[in-house]
Chain A
C-alpha cells in the first residue's frame, strides 16, 4: 500500500535539487568558513552567496541575515536576545496566544527573569486584532512578536498592519514566518518587520538550518557565545551544507511560489468542501485568510489520536491538536484560544499539503475519512 504524507506543516522531504546542491559541501568543499586558507574561503563564498539569496528574497541587507540551526533557535534568539539587550529601555513583551511553543516557552522563561508578558487574544478564526496591539503597547514595551501564519490552523495574521503600528510606536516587531516563508511573498521594508524567523525543513530544505533576519539598529544579545561567527551574533561553526541547501530550497520556492500556491489552494479547497460534508465537522482557522496548504478540522464526538492512528493504518499521515497525542496530555492551546472547548479541541485533525501532494491522494483521504469518523463514533458513548 502506497503511503500518503499529508503532514507537510510538520516537516518536508528534502527536494532532490536541494540534495544535489548540498552534496559537495560535505565532501570536497568541506572547509570551515572561518579558516583563511582556500578550503575555508570557498566555503565562506558559498555561505555568503546563500545569505544574498535570503536578503534578496525578503528585501533585507546582507548583514541583516543571521543563520541558525532552526526556527526554534531563531525564535529563542529573537525573544531572549532582544529582551536582554533592551531591558534598560523596558521590560514588557507582547506575543499572541497562538504562537508556537518555542515562543511561548521563551516568553515563560523571560517572565521568570522579571519581564512582563502580555498574550494577545485571538478571535474564533485565530486572528489577532491589530488594534489590540496598539492598545496594549506601553512605554515599557520593547518587543512585539506575532507569527505570520499559524502552523496549526493556517490563519494568516495581519502582520503588515501590526508592523506599521509598531513602527509608529517605536517598538521592535518580530514575526515567526516558519510556515509562511517560501509560500507567501515577504518584504520586510513594506511590512515594517524588524526581526523574522524562517525554517529550512518546512520548505524542502534539510533539517538543521534556520535564519533570523535582524534589522540594522536592533540591539540583540547573542545566545551562543563563541568564535565570532555570524558577526558575533551566533558562535558555532557554520553548517554550510545545510545552509546551502536552505538557500537552494528558498530559491526554488521563490520561482515556483505563485504556481504552487494556486495548485495547492485548489486541492485544499476540494478537501475542505468534501470533508465538511461529514456530519458535525468544522473548519478551524479563517476560511479565506489561510495558508494555501493548510486544512484543519474538528469533529464532534471523535478523539484526535484515534483518528490519526486509524488514518495511519490506512496509510495516510496527518496530525492532530488533541491532548492524548501531545506529551502534556493537554489539548492544543491554539485551538482553545480560538474558543473551542477542550472536548472539541480533542477531536481535531490537521491536514497539510505539499509539493508532492496529488489530487489522487486528496481523493483517497476524502474517501476513507467518513467511514473512519463513523467507526470511531460507533465506539463512542456520545452520538
Chain B
C-alpha cells in the first residue's frame, strides 16, 4: 500500500533503449516498462534509468513501481535474475490472487531487455530468447481468448 500511495518512476522515457509491453487491457492489467541502458565505470551495461506506465489494480501498480526500484543501476545480467519472489518480498508480500501481477512485472522487464538487445542488434542470450518465447506464447493465448472483445 505504501508503494501504491507513492509510486516511483512512472512515466515514459524518450528514446528508450528498450520497451517491454505486457498484459492485455481486456484482462485489466497492462504494463509498459521503459529502460535506458548505459555503460558504467567498469564498462558493464547497466540499467541507467527505468520508468513504468501501468493500467491495473493496486498490486499491478505496486509491482511495476517496485521492480523499477529493484533493478535501477543494476547490470543487465543481474536484472535478468530478478524473480517474482524478489518482487513479492520487496513489497512485503502479496495476496495469492495477485501473484500474477508480480509475474507481469518480471515479464515486462524481460521484454524490455529483449527489445534492447534486438534494437541494438546484439546477440540475444539463449535463456533470454527462451523467456521471451514463453511470454509471447502466453500473450497470444490471452489475445485469442479475448478476441471477441477486441474486434
Please report A residues at the B interface, Cβ cutoff 8 Å: 301-306, 309, 313, 322-325, 327, 329, 331, 341-343, 346, 378-382
Contacts and interface: CB of A to CB of B under 8 A. Distances in A.
B69 interface: no
A381 B5 CA distance: 18
A380 B57 contact: no
B61 A306 contact: yes
Contacts of A343: 25-26, 28, 149
Interface of B: 1, 4-5, 7, 10-11, 21, 25-32, 52-61, 97, 146, 149
B149 A381 contact: no
Contacts of B59: 324
A304 B5 CA distance: 15
The secondary-structure label for the interface of chain A is loop
Contacts of B56: 303, 306, 324
Nearest to B59: A324
Contacts of B149: 341-343
Contact of A381 (B1, B7, B53, B146): B53
B7 A303 contact: no
Nearest to A381: B53
A254 B103 CA distance: 53
Contact of A309 (B4, B52, B53, B54): B4
Given A309-B4, A379-B61, A346 B54 contact: no
A175 B31 CA distance: 43
5 contacts: A306-B56, A309-B58, A324-B56, A381-B53, A382-B55
Question: Closest 5 CB pairs between A and B?
Answer: A324-B57, A381-B53, A305-B57, A343-B25, A380-B55
A327 B98 CA distance: 10
A378 B10 contact: yes
Given A306-B61, A380-B53, 20 more contacts: A303-B28, A303-B56, A303-B57, A303-B60, A304-B57, A306-B4, A309-B58, A323-B27, A324-B57, A324-B59, A324-B60, A331-B28, A342-B28, A342-B149, A343-B28, A343-B149, A346-B28, A380-B55, A381-B32, A382-B55
